[in-house]
């Protein structure tokens, strides 16, 4: 099939979008004005959020394997060492990285006056959300539609593992009635209700419709699954990969 999509620029944005389309078997062409990779360093550190996307694309383990392990971080101000933090488990797995390293390092950075602006810029880049989009409907607990699905550790697997399907899906933290599961046209993933889910702002037994990019599209109380089906009908959504 002749490609009908052209990506102009093979930087991280173009390449990641191209990888997404490749996962869906959608033909495309990608071009760049340069003939090879850039020669200056642009990837000193990889954000946890970037790793989440890498994981969806199935390349996170390779990215970690090919990265350089940094064992310790030092924060210095006016030639004084203010903080030292361990980063030794950085390459051990994304779960550990998201669960331990990021939450423990961030508060240390935030104590630094001079670094607040930098960190704010970094976080605002990482915290891309679409709350005011017409495709974002509803709020449950502290979590609004349009926000990225909060990462929650699980007993066997975390709640971001099913995002690897890169397809529409419904999440329930608690229990969904079998009739509701049958009623919804997308796969329903149930996670044990936990304190961790509560702490991330999620609400027990609420139905969260998750977009292929891992952001929340619509929320509905368990007794009103028709809110999700109305949304799905309104936007004419269907499974991209065609599997349930
Ligand atoms: C010095 C520096 C260090 C950085 N360090 C980090 C880091 O440690 N970690 C991190 O996560 N981020 C880092 N970044 C940020 C990161 O590099 C950018 O966020 C990222 O490159 C943006 O990707 P992009 O694809 O949107 O744009 P770019 O990487 O700029 O890619 C755009 C591509 O489009 C091509 N192009 C432009 N115009 C045309 C045209 N008219 N026709 C065809 N092709 C065209 C360019 O050649 C380029 O390949 C750093 C940035 C800089 C400048």
Q: pLDDT at residue 92 above 60?
A: no
CATH class of 139-234: alpha beta
Instruction: Report the distance separating Cα 173 and Cα 161, nearest Å.
Output: 14
Answer whether 70 contacts ligand 1 (Cβ < 6 A): no
Ligand 1: centre distance to CA 15 (Å):
11
Angle at 237 between CA 143 and CA 180, to 5 degrees: 65
Q: Where are the domains of the chain?
A: 1-41, 43-127, 139-234
Q: Assign 136 to helix, strand or coil.
A: coil
The alpha carbon torsion through 92, 158, 53, 43 (nearest 10 deg) reads -30
Q: Is the dihedral of CA 72, 75, 80, 81 positive or negative?
A: negative
Answer whether 67 contacts ligand 1 (Cβ < 6 A): no
Most confident among 17-26, 75-84, 111-120 (mean pLDDT): 17-26
The alpha carbon torsion through 172, 177, 178, 184 (nearest 10 deg) reads -60
Q: pLDDT at residue 89 above 70?
A: no
What is the mean pLDDT of the segment spanning 26-55?
A: 86
Looking from the CA of residue 14, the nearest atom of ligand 1 is 25
CB distance 147 to 214 below 8 Å: no
Answer whether 34 contacts ligand 1 (Cβ < 6 A): yes
What is the mean pLDDT of the segment spanning 65-72?
A: 79
Q: pLDDT at residue 101 above 60?
A: no
Q: pLDDT at residue 155 above 70?
A: yes
């Amino acid at each position: 099939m002749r490609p009908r999509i052209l990506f102009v620029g093979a930087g991280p944005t173009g390449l990641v979008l191209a990888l997404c389309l490749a996962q869906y078997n959608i033909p495309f062409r990608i071009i760049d004005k340069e003939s090879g990779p850039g020669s200056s360093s642009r990837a000193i550190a990889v954000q946890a959020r970037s790793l989440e996307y890498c994981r969806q694309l199935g390349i996170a383990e390779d990215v970690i394997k090919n990265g350089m392990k940094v064992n310790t971080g030092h924060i210095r101000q006016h030639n004084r060492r203010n903080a030292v933090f361990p980063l030794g488990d950085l390459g051990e797995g994304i779960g550990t990285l998201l669960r331990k390293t990021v939450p423990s390092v961030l508060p240390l950075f935030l104590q630094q006056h001079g670094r607040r602006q930098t960190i704010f810029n970094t976080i605002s880049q990482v915290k891309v959300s679409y709350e005011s989009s017409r495709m974002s409907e509803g709020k449950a607990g502290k979590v609004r539609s349009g926000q990225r699905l909060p990462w929650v550790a699980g007993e066997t697997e975390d709640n971001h593992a099913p995002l690897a399907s890169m397809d529409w899906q419904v999440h329930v933290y608690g229990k969904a009635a079998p009739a509701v599961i049958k009623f919804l046209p997308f796969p329903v993933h149930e996670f044990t209700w936990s304190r961790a889910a509560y702490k991330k702002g999620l609400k027990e037994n609420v139905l969260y419709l998750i977009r292929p990019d891992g952001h929340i599209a619509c929320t509905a109380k368990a007794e009103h699954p028709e809110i999700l089906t109305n949304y799905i009908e309104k936007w004419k959504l269907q499974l991209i990969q065609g599997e349930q």
